[in-house]
Structure 1
Amino acid sequence: MKREIIIIGGGIVGLSCAYFLQKSGKQVTIIDENDITNSTSFGNAGLLSSFDKTPLSYPGVVLNTLKLMLKGQSPAIIHPTLDLKMYKWLLNFILSANEKRTKKTMMLFEKYGEISLKLYEKMVKEDSFDFDYHRTGMLSVFTEENSYNQKLKKYNYIDEERFKILNNNELKEYLPSATSKIKGAILFKKNAHFDSKRVMLELKRHLQEVGVEFILNEKIENIRVENNKVKHLVSSSKIYEAEQYIMSTGYQTLLASKCNRDLTMIPAKGYSITFEMPKEFIPKTSTIFNDLFIVMTPRRDNVRFTSKLEIGSSDTKVVLKQIESIKKNFFEYNQYFEMKNEELWCGFRPLTPNDIPLIGRDEEIKNLTYAMGLGWLGMTFAPAIGSIITDLVVNDKKNAQSDDILLFSGFFQ
């Protein structure tokens, strides 16, 4: 049976593509190697951080990371490897850490982040999704005097709709667990947060109800290309054929390499801790500890930490040493409390060196489109990516005919 559109990968980007394609009248099939209950999207902090949040590669990141390493607080861990691709990625990452690149990236973040937030809000209103969505801003907390002062230099003006520099009393109102070790905090008002697990489950439920086909626990092992078109996909036991294919395989690049695409993207392992905390300590909104790379997001029934950036690791298990490091770093600047009913998770984020996603049509394979490389920002930009990919496919556009692809795709940066 020949299908209309097959999406390979059922993370937040794959589901978002399916959502908008189905809305446009297309018949969609999602194939995923798991059952879509514990993917990287499920472990996301739920912070939609497109406004006033610098990318991973920013001026001074290397020096700042080295300083945190000396203090034993660095979130970044680089494991030695013989894989030259990782060192190529690191070089590009360092080259991207300049003022010009950072400014451009942040402008793109704002443009497509606002599009995504509006689309999330529309989805909640029109389809009654329970995302536990709140547009109450992002609290940005600084534990290093230097990084706080650098941030203040950039926000040395008044814009009450965009941000507010908090005094100590205001900080305690937003972050009751804060101690005097924290050097400063800024509330950035345009960001939002939600429960990533609810988002994934709600989207999956809705897509099933409207007729999107799910083929789960099915790993696609090969992709057959003939005459500049994908002929079919191959699993261990079946062949799947469609008119159009969308590759949304997260950090996994095997299928892309079979299409002669060497993607500048690596897997970066991250962790989350989901737990119940005393009500008097629950933060008022999603909070990012900038110097520690810890995000803490309040949810309806619990709170979630996300942190760490392990590069060069292939270990799929939770390393308790990393969990303890996250806790140690957090409690260095916050009052101690008991974390009850902990749920530990780890997964791999698909990172590009400049945080710009790899989206758009393959330049040679006519019926193949990529929707990859969102890294830690998959939840933040997924609706925008889904709508961009839908516009390409439904209207049979080339990359050059899409301003969004030319602006926001790493293939054209």
Structure 2
Amino acid sequence: MSKKVVIVGAGIVGLSTAYYLNKEGVDVTVIDGTDGNDNCSYGNAGYVSPSHIIPLASPGIINQGLKWMLDSKSPFYIQPKFSRDLLTWGWLFKKASTNKRVKAAIPVLNTLTTKSQSLYEQIIEEEGIEAGYQKPGLLMVCQTKEALKHEIDLVEIANQYGLEASVVNKAETEKLDPNVQYDMAGAVYFGCDGWMTPQVFMDKFKALLVKRGVKLDFNTDLQAVNSKGGKVTEFITDKKNYQADQFVIAAGSWSPTILKWLNLRLPLQPGKGYSFTIENPPVSPKLPSILVEARVATTPMLNGFRVAGTMEITGLNHDINERRVQGIIKSLKSAIPEYQTYNFEEIKPWAGLRPCTPDGLPYIGQVKSIENLYLGTGHAMLGWTLGPITGKLLTQNILSQSAEIKSNLLNVDRYF
């Protein structure tokens, strides 16, 4: 009799976990409160980025964040409010923003991102999923010398870990990407990075899972979790009750709400990000880029040119702050002059909630106080990049296999 696992959350983490469990012969059901077509795994920039090895919690980020909060169109905003969860998260974030913590996190993120990229490439090749995946690299475009100096420091770190990274001037940037001329002081080129069109991958991935026998129960609202004797006994939803041998929470920013039903407080805040896609852009770069000062990501996708950005911590809501969207547009116009005369009135802004831990590292593994409960969340801006490796690690945990990545920095219980 095969083992039964129920997963809550149908984003890339939940689906990747289902994929690897299914390959091991496990009976898998994924439940999700939405129709499965509009989570963070759909509206993101599509990056698969080994270059992203510096955690969100890093020295200087708090001072920079305080400056940004004074600007209504800035890349980062925390809504001031009295909330125990937010205050706890902020205090832990400050404690984690040290050079010592960052140095400890870098090798973990490096291993996670590089292995996850390899897993994506394996899935794409073995399963024949065509979602526009390419790996000619990513540009970090700097409009000021100050920003460029900071990125140059990151190049040295990346090279230490064997990642392809180099500083390029304007002429070299135009050779790498002849489709666009940036208003820039210089750039950093990460040849190790790739990208794809995430919604295309997700649709084909879901179809593959259903074909393989994974049950995907959408529009199914999880309402309670029953437990007894240190084990979860069932997930209670508005449709039916789900029993299983093991349970997985991969519900992104909603994961702490579920854990509170088990009297567990998980430090995690939803970081809202925005994106929009221009179907017929006046100019479309050949390479994806991050406009460094504004923290705006651009990606040439199969269905158009996607622009994404901002980090807004304002709670569990998908409300769209038009000032933030205008800030993204302003930054795009500044970096790529061809967009200065483009009419942005027809764009349809999208918002998604990235689950952010206080230390910038995800929660991956078993909840120690509940022997059959596992957690995969807290990936912040790396949710898309780290989907496959998180699914693989959770599968190895659930099946008591030797995990290929072991680090106390990923422990689910590190703040309990």
TM-score normalised over the length of structure 1: 0.91
How far apart are the structure 1 equivalents of 2:268 and 2:157?
37
Q: Alpha-carbon deviation of 1:104?
A: 2.4
Cα–Cα, structure 1 residues 333 and 59, in superposed 2: closer, same or farther, change >3 Å?
Answer: same
How far apart are the structure 1 equivalents of 2:230 and 2:44?
36
**Counterpart residue identity of residue 262, structure 2:** C
Which residue of 1 is the match for residue 287 of structure 2? 285
Which residue of 1 is the match for residue 19 of structure 2? 19
How far apart are the structure 1 equivalents of 2:355 and 2:156?
35
Unaligned runs of 5+ in 2: none
**Matched position secondary structure for 1:268:** strand
Which residue of 1 is the match for residue 379 of structure 2? 374
The superposition leaves residues 118-143 of structure 1 with CA deviations (integer Å, 9 ceiling, x where unpaired) of 11111111110112111111111123
Calculate percent identity across the aligned residue pairs: 27
How far apart are the structure 1 equivalents of 2:222 and 2:373?
15
**Matched position secondary structure for 2:370:** coil
How far apart are the structure 2 equivalents of 1:203 and 1:158?
31
How far apart are the structure 1 equivalents of 2:242 and 2:412?
29
The superposition leaves residues 73-120 of structure 1 with CA deviations (integer Å, 9 ceiling, x where unpaired) of 521111121212112212222222222222222221211111111111
Q: Alpha-carbon deviation of 1:331?
A: 1.2
**Matched position secondary structure for 1:321:** helix
Cα–Cα, structure 1 residues 24 and 237, in superposed 2: closer, same or farther, change >3 Å?
Answer: closer
Q: Alpha-carbon deviation of 1:232?
A: 1.0
**Matched position secondary structure for 2:222:** coil
Cα–Cα, structure 1 residues 134 and 411, in superposed 2: closer, same or farther, change >3 Å?
Answer: farther
Cα–Cα, structure 1 residues 153 and 26, in superposed 2: closer, same or farther, change >3 Å?
Answer: closer
Alignment partner of 1:353 is 2:358:
yes
Which residue of 2 is the match for residue 267 of structure 1? 270
Quick check: 1:273–1:342 contact (8 Å CA) kept in 2? Answer: yes
**Counterpart residue identity of residue 38, structure 1:** D
Cα–Cα, structure 1 residues 80 and 175, in superposed 2: closer, same or farther, change >3 Å?
Answer: farther
Quick check: 1:175–1:282 contact (8 Å CA) kept in 2? Answer: no
How far apart are the structure 1 equivalents of 2:157 and 2:373?
47
**Counterpart residue identity of residue 183, structure 1:** A
Q: Once superposed, what is the RMSD of the aligned Cα atoms?
A: 2.5
Cα–Cα, structure 1 residues 155 and 366, in superposed 2: closer, same or farther, change >3 Å?
Answer: closer
Alignment of 1:39-118 (within 5 A): 39-68=39-68, 74-118=74-118
Alignment of 1:331-410 (within 5 A): 331-337=333-339, 338=342, 342-395=347-400, 404=406, 406=408, 408-409=410-411
TM-score normalised over the length of structure 2: 0.90
Farther off after superposition, 75-84 or 142-151 = 142-151
Which residue of 2 is the match for residue 249 of structure 1? 251
Cα–Cα, structure 1 residues 313 and 332, in superposed 2: closer, same or farther, change >3 Å?
Answer: farther
Q: Alpha-carbon deviation of 1:247?
A: 0.9
Quick check: 2:274–2:350 contact (8 Å CA) kept in 1? Answer: yes
**Counterpart residue identity of residue 297, structure 1:** T
Farther off after superposition, 108-117 or 160-169 = 160-169
How far apart are the structure 1 equivalents of 2:166 and 2:401?
45
**Matched position secondary structure for 1:332:** helix
How far apart are the structure 1 equivalents of 2:17 and 2:347?
32
Q: Alpha-carbon deviation of 1:66?
A: 4.1
How far apart are the structure 1 equivalents of 2:225 and 2:264?
13
Farther off after superposition, 185-194 or 55-64 = 55-64
Quick check: 2:65–2:77 contact (8 Å CA) kept in 1? Answer: no
Quick check: 2:393–2:405 contact (8 Å CA) kept in 1? Answer: no
Q: Alpha-carbon deviation of 1:176?
A: 4.6
**Matched position secondary structure for 1:251:** helix
Alignment partner of 1:298 is 2:297:
no
Cα–Cα, structure 1 residues 275 and 154, in superposed 2: closer, same or farther, change >3 Å?
Answer: closer
Which residue of 2 is the match for residue 124 of structure 1? 124
**Counterpart residue identity of residue 244, structure 1:** Q
Quick check: 2:151–2:188 contact (8 Å CA) kept in 1? Answer: no
Q: Alpha-carbon deviation of 1:347?
A: 1.6
